[in-house]
Amino acid sequence: MPITTCVFDAYGTLFDVAAAARQAASEPAYAAMKDCWPQLASHWRLKQLQYSWLRAITGAHTSFWEVTQNGLDWALDAVDLAGDPALRQRLLDLYWELQAYPEVPDMLKALKAAGKQTAILSNGSPDMLDGAVQSAGLGAVLDDVLSVESVGIFKPDRRVYDLVGQRFGCAPDEVLFVSSNGWDAAAAAGYGFRTAWVNRAGEPVDRLPWFPDTILSDLTGIPALAEV
């Protein structure tokens, strides 16, 4: 089946999750972050993901915004900056304005020009995703933004991937699913989507029962891949 629908994870895939820490570290008021911001950004993202998995496994669902705050609190503690409430608030504010990776706008425009349906499928809360999409100016090149909040559980639960077919009326093998998370791309492949893992960091492939169909270093190749 030809690919009719291209679906993207949001955080780390379309939006640079390190941007908030990088921006705060560049501001004079938060000079304490100058050297440790990469470590803080890494801790923040890892704990955000780990907390989403644990909540999914234990049935203790909450909003992704709460998970994001919990992850940040752990990360600030880990780099000895937990005692700065102004820094915490600044980082949270910046998370609503994450920058898109440079190739994202043109990539999405190319998909739309080729007649593909485009969407985000994310753990993010609807208001968080709306803020990121509007801040990055991507609203005109996305047909929809799908959030796990409608099913009350985080990825990689199959009910999340079900949202794509429910929204677009497409079969799984008509979907190209793109994620920067190897585990997400693998789980989506197990679901039946065609998948691309955007492996910007050059990480090893996760040892899971399923594997991404394609591994890319950025998103520039997605329009060509969608035509295969």
What pLDDT digit, counting tens, does each position of 77-96 carry? 999 999 999 999 999 999 99
pLDDT beneath 70, residues of the chain: 228
Please spell the DSSP secondary structure of the chain, one letter per residue. ----EEEE--BTTTB-TTHHHHHHHTSGGGGGGTTTHHHHHHHHHHHHHHHHHHHHHHT----HHHHHHHHHHHHHHHTT-TT-HHHHHHHHHHHTTPPBPTTHHHHHHHHHHTT-EEEEEESS-HHHHHHHHHHHT-GGG-SEEEEGGGTTS-TTSHHHHHHHHHHH---GGGEEEEES-HHHHHHHHHHT-EEEEE-TT-PPPP-SS---SEEESSSTTHHHHHT-
pLDDT at 1: 82
Catalytic residue annotation: 9
- Return the CATH number of the domain spanning residue range 19-95: 1.10.150.240
Mean residue pLDDT of the chain comes to: 97
Bond into 209 cis (ω within 30)? no
Write down the domain spans for the chain: 5-15+99-226, 19-95
Q: Which CATH number fits domain 5-15+99-226: 3.40.50.1000, 3.40.50.2000, 3.90.1150.10, 3.40.50.2300?
A: 3.40.50.1000
Whole-model pTM? 0.95
- pLDDT for position 21: 97
pLDDT in tens, 135-148: 999 999 999 999 99
- Label the pairing between strands 144-147 and 117-122: parallel
Strand partners, 197: 179, 215
The reported pLDDT for the residue numbered 68 is: 98
pLDDT at position 10 is 98
Residue 175 has what pLDDT?
98
- What pLDDT sits at residue 53? 97
